[in-house]
Structure 1
Amino acid sequence: MKIVLTFILSITLSSIMAQQNEITRKNLQPALINQKVKAVEIQEITFPAGKTAPKHVHPCPVVGYVKSGSIFFQIEGQDAIILEEGDSFYEPKNVNILHFDNASKEIAMTFIAFYLKENNEENVKLVH
């Protein structure tokens, strides 16, 4: 009986350890981008606690993810949402971004932005 239990325990532990060594994939951000991408500019951007971004557009599509903190995010015509650490986002080309603000008044927020460029576009333009 001890041999059978030892064998079952051994197989179970081997299975658990194999699962921990598996590569996993999680789809974070589907985005339809209607342009050729010739270059990608990647930036890590940090907003101090309570910092808000002015209304703006991006002359190129932007995809990214929240490295730390949380973002109050709103694209014109869509509902505002809160993005948390690990969440991804997509900002379409030439669409008004109404809010991209640090949602916390106490801690800084950092995100990684991938600017998908067809030519030599600016990363951001302010909208007045």
Structure 2
Amino acid sequence: MKTTAARISSLVLLAITTSASMAQTQLLRKDLLQVLLTQQPLSQIEVKQVTMPVGQTAPKHTHPCPVVGYVASGSVLFQIEGEEKRVIQRGEAFYEPKDKVILHFDNDSAHEPLTFIAVYLKQADEGLIQLVK
């Protein structure tokens, strides 16, 4: 049986993925991401819209909670430690696992800002981000 927090996170993700489709006459559902969260207690969800200017890069960092995101505009150069770099385009989703080093989360465009929606799946006492030296 799903917990209330799991139901809420499902509803938040459904709202993000279907908001663009609502203007159309027919409901369309497109799978963007599926992640199995194992042993992740969930008591709080925070949803943030983040905009990075042209050329901005994020420092190496981790998240003390899992993060699910959606690129609303622009593109991001993304790399988790131990994985290959990849570019995530507008309309695509990403996942940043708890406590994994994020080597790159950079605006990949030389011409437009990057805007993404980040959904932080937290325990109430967890922060959002920790910089890595």
TM value normalised by structure 1: 0.81
Cα distance, 1:21 vs. partner? 3.5
**2:29 aligns to what?**
25
Whichever residue aligns with residue 113 of structure 1, its letter is A
Equivalences for residues 1-128 of structure 1 within 5 A: 21-34=25-38, 35-128=40-133
**Aligned-partner Cα distance in 2 for 1:82–1:59:** 24
Whichever residue aligns with residue 61 of structure 2, its letter is H
Between Structure 1 and Structure 2, how many residues are aligned? 109
**Aligned-partner Cα distance in 2 for 1:63–1:43:** 11
TM value normalised by structure 2: 0.78
Whichever residue aligns with residue 22 of structure 1, its letter is Q
**Aligned-partner Cα distance in 1 for 2:127–2:63:** 8
**Where does structure 2 lack aligned partners over 5 or more consecutive residues?**
1-23
CA RMSD of aligned residues (A): 1.1
Cα distance, 1:22 vs. partner? 3.0
1:102-126 Cα distance to aligned partner (Å, 9 max, x none): 0012211100000000232110000
- Three-state SS of the structure 1 residue aligned to 2:78 is strand
- Three-state SS of the structure 1 residue aligned to 2:72 is strand
**Aligned-partner Cα distance in 2 for 1:67–1:49:** 15
Structure 1 residue runs of 4+, over 4 Å off? none
- Three-state SS of the structure 1 residue aligned to 2:48 is strand
**Aligned-partner Cα distance in 2 for 1:105–1:120:** 37
Over the matched positions of the two proteins, sequence identity in percent amounts to: 50
